[in-house]
Structure 1
Amino acid sequence: MKYLKNILLIALIFSLSIACDDKLNEPLENEPLGITKTVEGQRNILLGAYQKFYDLGWEVHPTIGLRGDDVNKAGGTDQAIMETLDNYKYDPNAWFLNTTWNGFYNDIVAGFSLEIEKIREINEVLDDKSGGNQYVAEIQVLIGFELLQLTRMWGDILVPTSSNSDEFKALPLTRREDALKYISELMDKALPDLPDTRPNQRSDIQGGVTRYTALAIKAMANLDLENYQAVEEATSEIIQNGGFSLYNDFYYLFKKAGELSDESLLELQYSDFGSSSTATNEYNHQYDFYGPLSDGWKPLIPGVSGGWGFYEPTLKYIEFMLDRKDYSRLETSVLFTPNGVKQLENDGYNDLPDFTNAAEDGFIYTRDGDGIGNHARALFQSGKFYLPSIEISSNVNRYNSGKNFIVIRYSEILLMHAEAIVSGAASTSISAEEAVNMVRARAGLDPLAAVTLDDVLDEKYAEFATEWGIRFADVVRHGFTSELNEGGKIYDPSNDRFVPYPTAQVDQLPQLSN
């Protein structure tokens, strides 16, 4: 019944704007999910795949994101083992490496691959196979995204092609380059069967993946392969045909108003359904990791809980943004404490923007009225993963309750496009300058007359700080790894690009030790 309840709630999430037909809202207790040999049965299987994807553990994003010069693991001795990741002193016994690896492969093998097999089995008895083919393609895109994250963390990985656990245990390691080529080819295979629309335009599953989500993941895989012409071609198709645009306000892009905007290519969707009884991990992401610790948190709506204070934008990033007067994105990305402001002033930053000013009670208030104060764990707090307390449902006190988690944005498409061109690709759509200046215009910055690789990487640093390990992947790809030596950390280019395979996995999969 728990699985049944989850599927029903996922259906509700997808149909908040009456996007799905009535069948998704009908009681399902008398019909085993995923067993009925109908298109509706196939769709129930698809919804289960999305549920698994949205169920990523809270530790997955920090595990992916903590290695860049944009974010620190804060928190002192609490979860100190995560500092081994932040400081490039990797511990193969670290629990979060094992759960991230295990979570992705459980999704791909026991979840997505099995669901594809079930959908194909139903397709064998259906006259119209187009619905099933689309659902298979959607799940292939989810597989592609998770395999991409695995390659970015571990390099050489296992590439499953079925749900057979014995086959998985016998898989040889696939070289990173071949795994990335596989991801690109898998996206090509999915493309013909995917909806040719933005995710927020889908009428069946609003926010579900589309052709352009697959093209984005294809571009990312080829970016890591340094196959820049393939990146340019994929991003050009999105730019020319997808109807995407940048959300007009960077700050509110990461609040409720920006959910499923025209900028979104992939977004994890959550809801508390307006009740404390469903404001739980079962239906929400556990954002506690990113939130200000309780003694440094003074919400406008009393009783809304704080977080763990673990995800801290770096002083280097903040001073980079101040130097370029990139205030819109800085206000969005960083929550300032009075002690953090004092540190900036000690570093010579005396003409700070108004959003860093403390009130008489010693708290610095966001534009939405929540107070951020001093506490022992961090000088700064994450802003992109902050939802104003006034946007949380009445009678719900959970931090960030109901907030979606943005994964791929159109600005990333534009800046990957620019990166490909300045790295040698020939443009088939807009120029690198046009792409970069569109992103800069949203941030309120003047246009650049010419764009270099440094300009593009700076723009990506400003735009994507604290998001999905993008910064780490960028500087490593181009060999600018000295950027990672901030805050006393030392990155070794010969050894630190990939983390070790978790000991618990090596014990079960001896091919990982070869």
Structure 2
Amino acid sequence: MKNIFKFRIILFILPVFLFTCEDNLDEEQELIVLTGQIDYTSEDGAFGALIGAYEKFQSVGWEQIPLLAVRGDDVNAGGLGDQQGFADTDNYIYDNSYWMYNSIFENWSQDILQITSQIESLERFRDGGVNSALIDQYIAECKVLRGFITLELSRLFGDVYKIQTTDQTQIEVLPKDELMVWISTQMDEAIPNLLDVAPSQRTDLPGGITSYTALTVKAMANLEIGNYQNVADATGEIINSNAFQLFDDYYHLFKTDGKLANENILEIQYSDFGQASGENVSHLFAFYGPQNWTAAVPEATSGWGFYEPSFKFIKFMLDRGETVRLETSVLFTDRGIAELQTDPAYATLPSWISNTTRDGDVINDYSRAYQASGKHYLPSMELTSGRTDYGTNKNYTVIRYAEVLLMYAEALTRGATGTAGTADNAVNEVRNRAGLGNLSGVTSDQVMDEKFAELAMEWGIRYHDMVRLEKTEELSYDGRTFTMQKAYLPYPQEQLDQSYILNDYYQSQQNN
């Protein structure tokens, strides 16, 4: 069976690749063309070109996803560390020279450009006689990856590059709303050429892009611009397919049992190949982990403590009577519990709240934060014997079917018509998995509360929801004051200095 790990090194022998991560997006020498090294008549070579695109998506840096999420009222930056710019961002204080801003803008722009070069490479395989329908499918998968990364970059910075060619004279910066329409159109182009199965059911590339991934990205793009009928249509098609189910155990969905679960519409796959040493394709989950723990497996190392569920989120969950979703989302410390109890309304807590997880890991007090993210936690007992790095061998969940159900419900409560049941049905399916009772006559506010409870600390979903709805009062919490002028991060100064495309656009906006 083919899989993404078997083909990892293909990327480095493709005909077009980026010269260095530091090169300017608009410099002529940025793309290097290698000739005479590729057999364009080879179907395996075409598959390798596709894997090259997946490799760029999989290589997401440890700093990128936290930066997407940290401004949400579900997440706080851990303090007392060497990432003051990250903590400042959490408080809506932006410094466009902060290295994280430049890293995510540059790396994702480069990834989009590289994936586009893979698309152009795949056309050469078509010219070489490789099955045209297969090339159409591979190009469609690349378009979905490119569309998703563009969506996330735009959520962070607003107006960003539209890249659909490596001819850099044709690259432009577009307003966010226009980018969302373009992404939606790209998904429409891709969908007919993609496999009609759940990603987990793919046999050639388990967990790879399918038509349902494209439909979800389309729904996400249309949600950003308030086109609720398009959201309802795309998510309704996913629901009516009956290709997906919610994983029956919310807690274990975010552990090794949840790898390639049929709830996962997109996930980044990692593996240590079941070996105690040697090759290990992994994400640096230490950023999210507690600085100090007594692990059930004594050799297991702790994390860095930079990512903390907010007290606002914890209180919201307690008020709702949440159990498994709160337990899954938060790793409590004794210090955090004591701080929570200083609020008289929470002086008495449910007996199950403890600094010891159900898997026997004790989360000790540490100075950087009061608690840590449970969704980024892998119990030490689940580490492969001999592996000790925090969270290693854990996949990174990107899009879940639960989000599809809640996008569908929101669209209906905001006036769209649906073909996949009622908003009540969609919301209650998510609530029932969490052990909560049914709602009737669901409102938009109730849907947003359900998204808060279900999707907290995942890919900045909460922050982006509040921004698109202009819920400034929700993001003004614990002494912070949020205004819509703070919705997007500023362009990194290094990018403005390097790219005339970006700088010209920025200057034109400043002059308007």
Indicate whether 1:350 and 2:343 are aligned. no
Taking the aligned partners of 1:56 and 1:95, their CA distance within structure 2 comes to: 15
1:293-352 Cα shifts (integer Å, max 9, x gaps): 0xx211101111111001000000000000111111000000000011111211122332
Taking the aligned partners of 1:473 and 1:483, their CA distance within structure 2 comes to: 12
- For residue 295 of structure 2, the aligned residue among 295, 299, 303 is 299
- For residue 513 of structure 1, the aligned residue among 490, 506, 509 is 506
SS in 2 for 1:365: coil
Q: Is the 8 A contact 2:40 2:124 kept in 1?
A: no
Partner of 2:415: 424
CA change 1:120–1:368 in 2 (3 A) is same
Amino acid at match of 1:265: I
Q: CA deviation at 1:211?
A: 0.2
Q: CA deviation at 1:512?
A: 4.0
Taking the aligned partners of 2:505 and 2:133, their CA distance within structure 1 comes to: 39
Amino acid at match of 2:335: N
Taking the aligned partners of 1:77 and 1:202, their CA distance within structure 2 comes to: 43
Superposition map of 1:28-107 within 5 A? 35-107=39-111
Q: CA deviation at 1:34?
A: 5.5
Indicate whether 1:108 and 2:91 are aligned. no
- For residue 375 of structure 1, the aligned residue among 352, 366, 369 is 366
Amino acid at match of 2:289: G
Gapped regions of structure 2 (runs ≥ 5): 11-35, 508-512
Q: CA deviation at 1:167?
A: 2.5
Partner of 1:316: 312
1:70-111 Cα shifts (integer Å, max 9, x gaps): 0011132421111121111111111111110111111111x2
Taking the aligned partners of 2:8 and 2:250, their CA distance within structure 1 comes to: 28
Partner of 1:360: none
Moved more, 343-352 or 216-225: 343-352
Taking the aligned partners of 1:11 and 1:246, their CA distance within structure 2 comes to: 34
Q: Is the 8 A contact 2:102 2:495 kept in 1?
A: yes
Q: Is the 8 A contact 2:78 2:369 kept in 1?
A: yes
Q: Is the 8 A contact 1:53 1:142 kept in 2?
A: yes
Q: Is the 8 A contact 1:33 1:45 kept in 2?
A: no
Q: Is the 8 A contact 1:272 1:402 kept in 2?
A: yes
Q: Is the 8 A contact 2:158 2:175 kept in 1?
A: yes
Indicate whether 1:388 and 2:379 are aligned. yes
After TM superposition, the score normalised by the length of structure 2 is 0.90
Amino acid at match of 2:295: P
Taking the aligned partners of 2:477 and 2:178, their CA distance within structure 1 comes to: 32
Moved more, 343-352 or 64-73: 343-352
Amino acid at match of 2:86: M
After TM superposition, the score normalised by the length of structure 1 is 0.90
CA change 1:242–1:146 in 2 (3 A) is farther
Taking the aligned partners of 1:464 and 1:33, their CA distance within structure 2 comes to: 45
CA change 1:128–1:9 in 2 (3 A) is closer
Q: Is the 8 A contact 1:355 1:366 kept in 2?
A: no
- For residue 8 of structure 1, the aligned residue among 3, 6, 10 is 6
1:399-453 Cα shifts (integer Å, max 9, x gaps): 1111000000000000000110111101222111100000000000011111111
Amino acid at match of 2:142: I
Taking the aligned partners of 1:393 and 1:60, their CA distance within structure 2 comes to: 26
Superposition map of 1:268-287 within 5 A? 268-275=268-275, 277-278=277-278, 280=280, 283-287=281-285
CA change 1:130–1:223 in 2 (3 A) is same
Taking the aligned partners of 1:458 and 1:79, their CA distance within structure 2 comes to: 31
Partner of 1:413: 404
Indicate whether 1:211 and 2:211 are aligned. yes
Taking the aligned partners of 1:383 and 1:101, their CA distance within structure 2 comes to: 27
SS in 2 for 1:173: strand
Partner of 2:487: 497
Q: CA deviation at 1:277?
A: 4.1
Amino acid at match of 1:504: E
SS in 1 for 2:164: coil
CA change 1:252–1:116 in 2 (3 A) is same
SS in 2 for 1:167: coil
Taking the aligned partners of 1:420 and 1:113, their CA distance within structure 2 comes to: 32
Taking the aligned partners of 2:419 and 2:433, their CA distance within structure 1 comes to: 24
CA RMSD of aligned residues (A): 1.8
1:235-292 Cα shifts (integer Å, max 9, x gaps): 0000001510100111000001111111010000001123454465xx1111110011
Amino acid at match of 1:459: E
What percentage of aligned pairs have identical amino acids?
Answer: 43
1:478-512 Cα shifts (integer Å, max 9, x gaps): 2221100112111012x111110000011122224
Amino acid at match of 1:268: I
Taking the aligned partners of 2:287 and 2:446, their CA distance within structure 1 comes to: 32
Q: Is the 8 A contact 1:66 1:72 kept in 2?
A: yes
CA change 1:356–1:7 in 2 (3 A) is closer
CA change 1:320–1:33 in 2 (3 A) is farther
